Amino acid sequence: MIVISFNKIFLTEEEKENMATVVKSMATAGVEGYMVEIEAGTIKSPQQIMSIIGLPDQAIKEAGERIQAAIESCGYEMPKEKIILSLAPGDKKKRGAHFDLGMIIALLRQTRQIQAESLGDYAFIGELSLDGRIRPCTGVLSMVTEAANCGVKAVVVPFDNRKEAATVPGIRICPVKSLSDTVKVLEGKGDEFFCVKEDEAPGGSDEAGEKAVFFSNLDFSDVKGQKELIDAIVLGAAGGHNILMIGEPGCGKTMIAQRIPTILPEMTVKESLEISKIHSIAGLLEPGSGLMKMRPFRAPHHNVSLNALIGGGSFAQPGEVSLSHNGVLFLDELAEFNKATLDALRQPMEDKKVTISRVSGSNSYPANFMFVAAMNPCPCGYYPSKKCRCSDYEIMQYRGKISGPILERIDIQKAVAHVDFFDLDKAQGGVSSAVLREKVEKARKIQQERFKDAPGISCNAQMTSTMVGNYCRLDAESTALLKRASDKFDYSARVIHKLLRLARTSADLDGAENIRLQDVERVLGCRDLDVSSSGMYTVKR
């Protein structure tokens, strides 16, 4: 006996009406986005209940109250049934109030209160207010980028996030101010009006060759009497090298550090996208703004916690090392930082990224920053002047707060000269940031050409050991000088490699093809801390 079974391929109208409505939304994990499908279904029940499932956090659980208030405020009806809103994938924890808009659209479509034939073409991002207005969200740039990668045709975003979202090519952006605006977009009544206009798209260096404008009241022309230090700063900026400034209070260390971003090269579109994503996820991108054009400058206080510096929290949020990506991380009063906090910088400084692991998962963030630090030379701050009353032992103990591995990762360790206020009027004005930036950009162009076939390498400070061997060869005289310095100060292989990278940058600043003896002499002159510490007398216990 043969039994033939036929699968049911046609659904009745009643069965179609009972099917769950699926709406697309987005979420973030680290700096990347991923798609979340919101399913809305109703079940007959004697009482009205709303259940949100899919490992939601507290903000998502509270969405039920916001949805109910917004539905009534906008003239819709709350169904008298049990409502189930499911966020898939169900085994991945989700957080944030930006799922509100997707959930309310799914519910209204499921209860046939709105018509939206092309609902599958859209993704929805936005937080609801009780009266139906749409509030801005964090992480929009990462979410819209992933939506474009997933083939979504259009994304509905809060109006205040329109410029941020409009930087993503290949996808239509529909900024809305309220639930009513969203419904008009879906019903085809206001699509043209609500889409981003060309004159609202963010400007900047998106077009090739177009220069970003530097809006800043900081300029190196304000700095007087520190020519030798500024030369070292330009050397560090030209190759992306880490810098430590040692000097007494009031000599201008912080003033100089704040001006370093003004001489760094203009950011590429890729770099701008990277830092804009990080700042968007951290909630630091100003509402209504597009891509960041200025390189970030982060200067956390010395009481900063480990999680705030490296990143952490319940959802592994980015820390200061990631917020300063493609920019400058400045630590003032370096010796006052907690030793464990400082030592946590070792891996990000070397690997140019940081991975934060929690029970809920791991997030990786880029951390390719230029490390700049400042510190006093001794506990009282006035060594080697006559005002200093510190013993050699006290000075060495104070400097010992900074571990050797951290110091080894700092290429330039330069003493800051004492400045007499009454001599400043006689001193010549400093060189402007525009002139210094021109020197830096010329050196960087040489490096970009050198590393054009090496992905992830854009400046000399990022060279691998193999690259150092290929591009940092010395003649016999330069090698002998470097060996004498190494024997005297007991340099490790890491320090030698950093000196070679620095010498390569020195040659690039002058447009020289090979590293010269004067380049080696110049970089050895940037190790003032080694010279200062070597002459001190201490008693071992």
Could you report the per-residue pLDDT of 439-480, keeping only the tens digit for each? 999 999 999 999 999 988 989 999 999 999 999 999 999 999
Kind and range of the H or E run holding 243: strand 243-246
| Bridge partners for 373 per DSSP | 244, 331
Task: Report all structural domains of the chain as residue ranges with CATH numbers, in order of start.
Answer: 20-200 (3.30.230.10), 220-533 (3.40.50.300)
Q: Read off the tokens for 511.
A: 């447009």
Q: Read off the tokens for 39.
A: 């399913």
- Cβ-based neighbours of 86, under 8 Å, separated by 6 or more: 20, 38, 39, 40, 41, 52, 53, 54
| Bridge partners for 505 per DSSP | none
Would you state the pLDDT for residue 18?
60
By percentage, how much of the chain surpasses pLDDT 90? Answer: 67
Would you state the pLDDT for residue 210?
38
Beta-carbon neighbour count of residue 302 at 10 Å? Answer: 14
pLDDT in tens, 253-282: 999 999 999 999 999 999 999 999 999 999
Asked whether the predicted pLDDT for residue 487 surpasses 90, the reply is yes
Band (pLDDT 50/70/90 cuts) for residue 428 is low
Angle at 467 between CA 465 and CA 472, to 5 degrees: 100
Kind and range of the H or E run holding 66: helix 63-73
- Name the nearest CA neighbour of 470 among 500, 495, 446, 449: 500
Cα 211 to the chain's mean position, in Å? Answer: 22
Would you state the pLDDT for residue 197?
47
Would you state the pLDDT for residue 7?
53
Question: Rounded CA gap, 394 and 303, in Å?
Answer: 23
523 SS3 class: helix
Q: Read off the tokens for 425.
A: 């009027």
pLDDT in tens, 297-348: 999 999 999 999 999 887 788 999 999 999 999 999 999 999 999 999 999 9
Question: Rounded CA gap, 112 and 108, in Å?
Answer: 6
* Mean pLDDT calculated for residue range 141-161: 95
Classify residue 197 by its DSSP letter.
P
Question: Rounded CA gap, 323 and 278, in Å?
Answer: 7
298 SS3 class: strand
Say how many Å lie between the first and final Cα of the chain, rounded.
Answer: 97
302-310 contacts at long range (C-beta below 8 A, 24 or more positions apart): 302/331, 302/332, 302/333, 302/334, 302/336, 302/337, 304/337, 304/341, 305/341, 306/338, 306/340, 306/341, 306/344, 309/341, 309/344, 309/345, 310/344, 310/345, 310/348, 310/354, 310/356
Beta-carbon neighbour count of residue 427 at 10 Å? Answer: 14
468, 454 contact by CB (below 8 A): no
Residue 530 CB burial class (10 angstroms; 0-12, 13-18, ≥19): middle
pLDDT in tens, 34-73: 999 999 999 988 888 999 999 999 999 999 999 999 999 9
By percentage, how much of the chain surpasses pLDDT 70? Answer: 88
310, 344 contact by CB (below 8 A): yes
Report the b/e string of 247-267 with b at 16+ CB within 10 A.
Answer: bbeebbbbebbbbbbbbbbbb
Judged by average pLDDT, the poorest of 80-84, 408-412, 428-432, 525-529 is 428-432
Matching residue, tokens 């994304």: 155
Would you state the pLDDT for residue 480?
96
pLDDT in tens, 353-402: 998 887 767 888 999 999 999 999 999 988 888 889 898 889 989 998 99
- Cβ-based neighbours of 217, under 8 Å, separated by 6 or more: none
Would you state the pLDDT for residue 316?
83
Asked whether the predicted pLDDT for residue 521 surpasses 50, the reply is yes
